[in-house]
Amino acid sequence: MGLRVTRENLVPLPAIAPYFALGLLSFLAAPWLLVTGAVSLDGGFHRDPAILAAVHLYALGWGTAVALGALQQMTAVVFDTILRSPRLAKAAFVAFILGLTGLITGFATLHQPRFSRTALTVAALGLPSGAVLALANVLLTLGSGRSTARGSLIRPFVLAAAEYLVLAFLAGAALAVNLATGWLGMAWRSALALHVAAAAGGWFLMLVIGISYHLLTFFGLVTKKQQFRWTAAVRRLLHGGVGLVIFAAVLRAEGTDSMARAALAAAAWAVATACVLFVWEGWGIYAPRERERMHPGVGYVRAAHVYLLAGALALAALGWAGVHGLVLPARLITALGFLAAAGWLSNTILGYLHRILPFIVWHNRYWGRARDPGVPAFRHMVHPSLAWAACAVYNAGVVGGVAALLSAWPARPFLVLLGAGAALAALNLLRTLVK
């Protein structure tokens, strides 16, 4: 029997809609914070409060909030069960948004230690608490479900990603308190390496690639009969990449820089190989399709895979440079981070949200009422022309932003373009959420 949504496994909209609303508002705001900090971004000053806030809005307000909301619905469907507790979903969101508010406030008040210390302490408590509660809801739901083919495929990715998210939050909490107190001393570098590796490689790459193996076929982005043969290899390579980054941080703390560079190079090659294998197996998204089947979500996911492949090639090149002792400009790392957050991650989320959000909202509001007067058709839940315009404008900003960060061009004009595209996409999807 195929996967299907029933009245029983459909999660009530009030339990998960706040996650999507927070995500879309964060996605709308993040580029404009980058515009505010554009001079610092051009100069490589990444501790500018506006840059810190933008990065964490992308990672937490956008990526993590949407993922936590979607996971609580997806596990119920994929594992043919019901969400363990809609109330727990609501409680988790309250803790999460309080923590995120504290974090952004803390960044904004870094020049006033008295206020930032309190705000960052709230962040250090609220964000991990909210994430753990939401993940507990997901894992309890998963535990009560039955074995399905798709469930067996994504389960190890989801479990691993959950562990890495907790690890990333623990390191992030330590770093948040350190910003206000300096209590970590020089150990903050190792904590930062752990935080970035666990979040970027362990949480986002592990989770997004893992659930993509399900969503690519579920939404018809590749053929329904597509068989993915490299899933275990991809997962092991990602584990290896994260582990090697952490190992390199330990080696660097011990003063063995040459071995640390070798470990980082191996980590880069492992993650790059995992990304290439995933893109290779998902190549069917580029198959020709009829005009009426060319949904805006397809355009976003196609762009995301291009960015992921470009990022993988850049990682491989960085690994080669590290082994040969070449010192590369810091702007290359900045451009790669921008490509990952604004390019790959954001386009992937947008692509899936253009299918997930109408699906969840329509079934919650109009179940059994498809023929009633005034009920919109499913395909009209998102404005397609606006979605395509947003995709074009937003990705022009991504490509221009990467080019600017790699060169001496000012990034601000392209960041404005990025912000305009993000506003079009976010408002279109927010319209769906309240439709």
Could you tell me what percent of the chain has a pLDDT over 90? Answer: 73
Give average pLDDT by consecutive 10-residue segment, the chain, 435 residues.
Answer: 74 97 98 96 87 97 98 93 96 98 95 91 95 97 87 95 96 87 83 94 97 92 89 98 92 83 95 98 88 81 98 95 82 94 98 94 87 80 94 98 93 98 98 88
Contact 403, 335 (CB under 8 A): no
CA distances from 137 to 86, 151, 277 (A): 9, 16, 31
pLDDT at 335: 94
Count the Cβ atoms, other than its own, within 10 Å of residue 373.
Answer: 5
pLDDT in tens, 137-196: 999 999 888 888 888 999 999 999 999 999 999 999 999 888 878 888 878 888 999 999
Judge if pTM exceeds 0.85.
Answer: yes
SS (H, E, C) the chain: CCCCCCCCCCCCHHHHHHHHHHHHHHHHHHHHHHHHCHHHHHHCCCCCHHHHHHHHHHHHHHHHHHHHHHHHHHHHHHCCCCCCCHHHHHHHHHHHHHHHHHHHHHHHCCCCHHHHHHHHHHHHHHHHHHHHHHHHHHHHHHHHCCCCHHHHHHHHHHHHHHHHHHHHHHHHHHHHHHHHHCCCHHHHHHHHHHHHHHHHHHHHHHHHHHHHHHHHHHCCCCCCCCCCCCHHHHHHHHHHHHHHHHHHHHHHHCCCHHHHHHHHHHHHHHHHHHHHHHHHHCHHHHCCCCHHHCCHHHHHHHHHHHHHHHHHHHHHHHHHHHHCCCCCCHHHHHHHHHHHHHHHHHHHHHHHHHHHHHHHHHHHHHCCCCCCCCCCCHHHCCCHHHHHHHHHHHHHHHHHHHHHHHCCCCCHHHHHHHHHHHHHHHHHHHHHHHC
- Please count the CA atoms within 13 angstroms of the CA of 41 that sit on its side-chain side: 31
SS (H, E, C) 362-390: HHHHHCCCCCCCCCCCHHHCCCHHHHHHH
Contact 139, 91 (CB under 8 A): no
Instruction: Give CA–CA dist 15/154, Å, rounded.
Output: 23
Instruction: Give CA–CA dist 423/272, Å, rounded.
Output: 31
Closest C-alpha to 80, from 139, 144, 135, 136? 144
pLDDT at 2: 58
Instruction: Give CA–CA dist 203/95, Å, rounded.
Output: 20
φ, ψ dihedrals at 318, nearest 5°: -65, -40
pLDDT at 3: 67
pLDDT in tens, 275-304: 999 999 999 999 887 765 678 999 999 999
Contact 146, 155 (CB under 8 A): no
Instruction: Give CA–CA dist 81/145, Å, rounded.
Output: 5
